[in-house]
Amino acid sequence: MNELHVVFGATGALGSAIVRHLTRSGKPVLAVARNEDKAQRILPEDTEFSIADALDADHVTYLCQGATAIYNCVHTRGENWFTLAENLIAGAKVSGARLVFPSNIHGYGPLQQSPATEDHPHLATSKRGILRNTLEKMLADARESDGLNYVVPRLAGIYGPLVTDSFIAQIVESALQGKQGYWYGKLDVPFDLVYVDDAAAACVRLSAVEQSPEDNPAWHVPGYAPITGRRFMEMTYQAAGTKPNIGVRSRLMLSALGLAVPGAKELVELLYEFETPTLMDGSRFAAAFPDFRYTPYEEGIPGMVTWYREYLSAQSATNRK
């Protein structure tokens, strides 16, 4: 059977990493993005790409024709999440492709046990977690009613090149500038992080993993090993060549900030993940893919810092023009 991997959100951190992985593996890929200039700048040379809005149902269905795997790497907001999911579900149904729908553990809420396995109950207490659970119920309902073939790679926090929309980006930038960087919650609580290229490779592996309709579609991808915020920041500053200058955003501080900044209020709802060990059991994934190699922090953190140094330098040069 001919393969075709269709990646929506192909210029984001995870989407572009998936495209790179597929390209290196010699697999046919169609990258879908909204910005042509960004696609030409970020995607590997000679990548076939299409400029489209994933909220356009007809265009999504058209692009999914002939697909064997469809990846959702789109960043969107509000009600658009439901439109996006509906469109990708429809595209997967029409093509018969497996829909790869990356997620996280926000939907579990505070863990009843840590590390948590894939059968942990979905007891979300945050808006983001409730949203994730609602989206996954849409997928499950589509499987029940129409036989949707899908998989949910449940990813740890992602770090690495192009991950510019998280608190980790602020830490790296502060390290490169020799300024104070901030972790959230508690510095010495272990935390799961996965290098973006590893997350991408896991998504591609799971696009073809054998599973029956009765199997749990979620797979934990926890990364190399748990790491504390303190150790991650120390290693980041070391890679940047600057003296560690580590601060903490406490619950009280974020709660006060949340009065003026909506994003901070949402973060307070998830702060439990930084205050108590909120870890994933990755043994199921490890058993299915015993040859899978996660990137050690000793490799991933310097790689991240090198990319950010070039990225910030390019931004500075552009701003000077």
Q: Could you give the domains of the chain? A: 5-158+193-221 (3.40.50.720), 163-192+225-278+295-315 (3.90.25.10)
Q: How far apart (Å, rounded) are the C-alpha atoms in residues 218 and 101?
A: 9
Tell me the pLDDT band of 310, cut-offs 50, 70 and 90: very high
Q: How far apart (Å, rounded) are the C-alpha atoms in residues 285 and 152?
A: 12
> What's the full length of the chain, in residues?
321
Over 80: is that where the pLDDT of 54 sits? Answer: yes
CA atoms within 13 A on the CB side of 70: 29
Residue 1's pLDDT is: 56
Residue 249's pLDDT is: 87
Over 90: is that where the pLDDT of 39 sits? Answer: yes
Tell me the pLDDT band of 78, cut-offs 50, 70 and 90: confident
Q: How far apart (Å, rounded) are the C-alpha atoms in residues 69 and 92?
A: 8
Calculate mean pLDDT across residues 210-220. 94
The CA angle 34-39-44, to the nearest 5 degrees, is 145
Please choose, from the candidates 272, 315, 282, the residue with its C-alpha nearest in 3D space to the C-alpha of residue 111: 272
Calculate mean pLDDT across residues 212-232. 96
Q: How much of the chain exceeds pLDDT 90, in percent?
A: 86
Instruction: Read off the pLDDT of residues 117-142 as tens digits, 9 standing for 90 and up.
Output: 999 999 999 999 999 999 999 999 99
Residue 2's pLDDT is: 81
Question: By the 8 A CB rule, do 32 and 56 touch?
Answer: no
Residues 6 or more apart in contact with residue 316 via CB below 8 angstroms = none
Q: How far apart (Å, rounded) are the C-alpha atoms in residues 201 and 111?
A: 27
Beta strands in 123-255 (DSSP E): 150-155, 157-159, 181-184, 190-191, 193-195, 218-221, 227-228, 246-249
Please give the radius of gyration of the chain, using alpha carbons only, rounded to the nearest integer.
Answer: 19
Q: Quick check: helix, strand or coil at residue 154? A: strand
Tell me the pLDDT band of 258, cut-offs 50, 70 and 90: low
Whole-model pTM?
A: 0.95
Residue 263's pLDDT is: 59
Tell me the pLDDT band of 15, cut-offs 50, 70 and 90: very high
Instruction: Read off the pLDDT of residues 129-179 as tens digits, 9 standing for 90 and up.
Output: 999 999 999 999 999 999 999 999 999 999 999 999 888 999 999 999 999
